[in-house]
Structure 1
Amino acid sequence: MAHEDILDELDRRRAAACAMGGEEKLARRRERGTLNAEERLDALIDEGSFYETGFLGRSSFSAQAAGKSPRDGKITGFGTIDGRDVGVVVNDFTTMGASTGATNSKKIGYIRKTCTEKGMPFVHVGESTGARLPDAMGSRGMGQMLGNDTTQFRRMRESPWAAAALDTSFGSSAWLCCCADFAVMKKGSIMSVSSPRLVSMAIGEKVELEELGGWRIHAEQTGLIDQFVDTDEEAMAALRRFLSYMPGHNGELPPTAPVAEGSGDDQERILDILPETRNRVYNMKKIIDVIFDVGSVFEFKPRFGKSAVVALARLEGKVVGVVANNPQVGGGALSAEACRKIIDFTVLCDSFNIPIVRLMDTPGFVVGTDAERRGAPGHIMNFMNATCLTTVPQVTVICRKAYGRAYVAMGGGAHNDSMIAWPMAEVSFMDPVFATSIVHNRTPGDEGFEDALIEIQKDLEIWDMATIFSAHDVIKPQETRSSLIRILDIHQRRRSGGIGDHLMRSWPTSY
């Protein structure tokens, strides 16, 4: 065959790959206002930076399937986000529902392997129907498709993973969100193990899409997704923003950004937010916004475990992880869900060399029969274990209440590099009302209860802890930002270049 004919054949095959699932399917997506795979890719990475690999991949099971499977339903390759290299997989739902096949499994495995070995983030943009049938049926299908890549879902957190669940996200799109360090979901999408049709057949009753895996379920009940957005464009922007806080791999520090204008101004506002009455609630998120760089707070799981707040932020341009109690929800008492949320975030920070700032104001852990059924003791011990295994610089600020074992789990005692407190902080084994009932056998309303409560409360104030140097310093709330900047500078890991020991690198991303 002449050179010209061979090159024409290459052009023909390239054109077929670019056509994806065909104009009719692409037009239907445009009518719904849904981006196709290439449009999502364009919104995710820097313009002109994409180098595609596996462009001519197709189904390997039959000639008929091969003709219907340009790129085998997955666009894979490498690009840059804000000038930094990333590996990317974007599912093309117009091609056989982006179902998982033998060829596209090899393509995805190649991208992940390269990201891990070469030190760059991995991004998966999911929308899929699950395993491809009938390709996966029988021993030949299983033998060719599943179990041949021992690293397919193994996470040692060598590099950050980010994922999106868009529209119909079954099978691999769900798996990779659950494996990721950060996952975003578009409202109106469904993320689940299998389709409602298959689940309905399996259990013998009709299952609705929303109750199977709608965004509200994952926002409020499972905690498997970190953020929720309205559009494809917003999902791609969330993935980009997450990666702006992350190093390319676990052997380097996160990138430093210019300090936003106005950062550090008017720290006196903290006193306006913090009630003078100790039993009044307030929104800790407002205090976080004051302390950290303007516009830098990037919260995870805002509707899950709401008595805790976890967020990436910047402090004088440097990336930090923020773990805080929020007294506005349940008085800041830590539920099983709040513990899970903090553990996940602690593992993320420690794995990627991000210092942790804890803002403590909690009466303890949520107790009761429901908490026990949710496995509270196990989650509390996992929380304690994660705190003890943390190797990045960590600072604890006792803002107000610090009671019981929650004080330790939130970084109290020796579980930090530095512990500072506000003058209104109070520390004790339990809430003084409960302590009064136990010690003096009096409950609110009983004669002598108030006098007994005052006696118990004398020992709660932070001064005694500061006197014995269990609290390293007592500062004014408006001094918190400047103190944190200096403390984190002092406690940076100079000998290792700021790199942590990554003791939790194999901790499950979802449990």
Structure 2
Amino acid sequence: MKFEDKISEHEKRKSHALSMGGDEKLARVKAAGKLNARERIGYLMDEGSFLESGLFATSMLPEDRDSTPADGKVAGFGKIKGRMTAVVSNDFTVKGASSSPVNSNKMEHVKNVAAKNGFPVVFLGESTGARMPDIMGAKGIIGVNNNPRQYMRLRTNPWAAGVLGYCFGSATWYSAMADFTVMRKGSCLAVSSPRLVAMATKAKVDYEELGGWRLHTEITGLADLAVDTDEEALEAIQRYLSYMPQHANEAPPRVAVPEGSDALAEDILEIIPETSGKTYDVRKVIERVADKDSFFPLKARFAKTLVTGLARIDGRSVGIIANNPYFKGGAIDADACDKAISFLVQCDSYNIPIVLLVDQPGFLIGEEAEKRRIPGKVMNWLNALALCTVPKISIIMRKSYGLAVRNMGGSNNADEVAAWWSAEVSFMDPRSGVSVVHGVSYDENPEAYAQAMEEMSRDTSAYDLASINGARAVIDPRETRQYLKQMLEVYECGLSGGIGKHMLHNWPTGF
């Protein structure tokens, strides 16, 4: 056979490059109930579609070349549900998937190819951080960081990340920059490991305390979702990308509407209390407004007074921002502001219309709120909303008070505002207004309180708002889904093909 020696050598080198950290280390990964780096790609991507980039890469250090197959990071291109995607999967069995000049170059290459050709990038994180001694000294650190745009985020194409083990260094940076981040429980997302933290600060801390899933889903908001297994994390990434366009210059995909979706709206009145002081869970409203089983909540454990998530209405991708009276009466706190802003940025960047479902008593006030810089966060939210160029449709369900009226799309801050006949809009809850202006309580003087309440409640109804065209429509709650279906068709942005101006695409990635 011609080229027999070349063929033999190539197959030998290829086999070694695919061997990862060896059978013993791979067996330990399997025993721990995890997928290895290549299995993760195989599960994420359509069968047979993966085209690897940099398979024969190794460490630059001659003594480490034989022990660094693919240099610890598996990268390339493939399809997820038939759509092209780039992927970087960290191979923890090779030097802890530590970052080196070579594998950093691999990552940069697939990122750049995806950006230039218009498709998403998925980062599957599990890494000990930077590799030493490879990057020690001036030559090493400049070699790794010689691209000034390495950590620049312009949101030209969607990024998704899975935190699937201990993530330090670049695995943390890319997870923090991603549009969507899912954590497997038991993983850790932090700048440095507990060992290095102990050396630097003399403080002992474990992985969970330093960067576990509860911290990042409930306190920092850096993770959108926590799951139990690698498989669940990869399925979440697949689902997230299904709502996204391939890149910022196309509209999101439209899919078939599940049978029975319209019927869900019929019992919406069963959820809403007749008494304004009683609470309910707005997520049940969302489930009846959106296409059946289409709601995909983001940051559900973080800032629970506000619900954000992706859904479909009549097959179209939409972003939902909804006050949730079930928590703190729906009062908007500092974390809720951050949550809203990050979601607005994402929707504007990827041409996803925004639906605001309003039932809020205003901003949470007090000393703690001021310490959390809520005035600045409120203004940032208003600026982000004003800069959004995707369609914005606001539905005032019940109460909407104070400046937060504007943050939730009122006062012409949305393209369309409709109100349920149960809506009430004013500067302040009339009950609070009675106390502030008249200093009277019901218990002290029921007659005076009733008279003051009548005065403070004047011109606050949905019809009062509609009379000045502050609401373009007053609707029965059961009509909400149909109203949104028709209004989304009105605002399809035919002149631009559904593409916005992306004025938020370079908003800072953190919050």
Q: Same fold (TM over 0.5)?
A: yes
SS in 2 for 1:235: helix
Q: How far apart, in 2, do the equivalents of 1:476 and 1:494 lie?
A: 29
The equivalent residue for 2:123 is 124
Q: How does 1:363-442 map to 2 (within 5 A)?
A: 363-442=361-440
SS in 2 for 1:265: helix
The equivalent residue for 1:320 is 318
Matched, 1:10 2:37: no
The equivalent residue for 2:510 is 510
Q: How far apart, in 2, do the equivalents of 1:145 and 1:66 lie?
A: 18
Q: Is the 8 A contact 1:166 1:189 kept in 2?
A: yes
The equivalent residue for 2:34 is 34
Q: Is the 8 A contact 2:459 2:465 kept in 1?
A: no
Matched, 1:259 2:257: yes
SS in 2 for 1:66: helix
Deviation per CA, 1:366-415, whole angstroms, max 9, x where unpaired? 11000111111111111111111110111000000110111101111111
The equivalent residue for 2:93 is 94
Give the superposition deviation at 1:233.
Answer: 0.2
Give the superposition deviation at 1:266.
Answer: 4.2
Give the superposition deviation at 1:444.
Answer: 4.9
The equivalent residue for 1:107 is 106
Matched, 1:345 2:364: no
The equivalent residue for 1:473 is 473
Deviation per CA, 1:347-367, whole angstroms, max 9, x where unpaired? 101110111110000000111
The code of the aligned residue for 2:86 comes to G
Give the superposition deviation at 1:6.
Answer: 2.3
Q: How far apart, in 2, do the equivalents of 1:151 and 1:44 lie?
A: 27
Give the superposition deviation at 1:4.
Answer: 2.1
Q: Is the 8 A contact 1:109 1:149 kept in 2?
A: no
SS in 1 for 2:321: strand
The equivalent residue for 2:63 is 64
The code of the aligned residue for 2:100 comes to G
SS in 1 for 2:263: coil
The equivalent residue for 2:136 is 137
Q: How does 1:200-239 map to 2 (within 5 A)?
A: 200-239=198-237
SS in 1 for 2:250: coil
The equivalent residue for 1:304 is 302
SS in 2 for 1:507: coil
TM-score (norm 2): 0.98
Deviates more, 1:260-269 or 1:324-333: 260-269
The equivalent residue for 1:493 is 493
Give the superposition deviation at 1:160.
Answer: 0.4
Q: How far apart, in 2, do the equivalents of 1:445 and 1:153 lie?
A: 60
The code of the aligned residue for 1:126 comes to G
Deviates more, 1:99-108 or 1:483-492: 483-492
Give the superposition deviation at 1:268.
Answer: 2.6
Give the superposition deviation at 1:204.
Answer: 1.1
Q: Which of 181, 184, 204 is 2:182 aligned to?
A: 184
Q: How far apart, in 2, do the equivalents of 1:450 and 1:35 lie?
A: 66
Deviation per CA, 1:269-325, whole angstroms, max 9, x where unpaired? 110000000110000000100111001000000110100001100011111111100
The code of the aligned residue for 1:80 comes to K
Q: How far apart, in 1, do the equivalents of 2:39 and 2:402 lie?
A: 52
Between the aligned residues of both structures, percent identity stands at 48
Give the superposition deviation at 1:186.
Answer: 0.4
Give the superposition deviation at 1:486.
Answer: 0.7
- Where does structure 2 lack aligned partners over 5 or more consecutive residues? none
CA 1:210–1:444: 2 relative to 1, 3 Å: farther
Q: Aligned pair count?
A: 508
Give me the CA root mean square deviation: 1.0
SS in 1 for 2:122: strand
Give the superposition deviation at 1:7.
Answer: 2.3
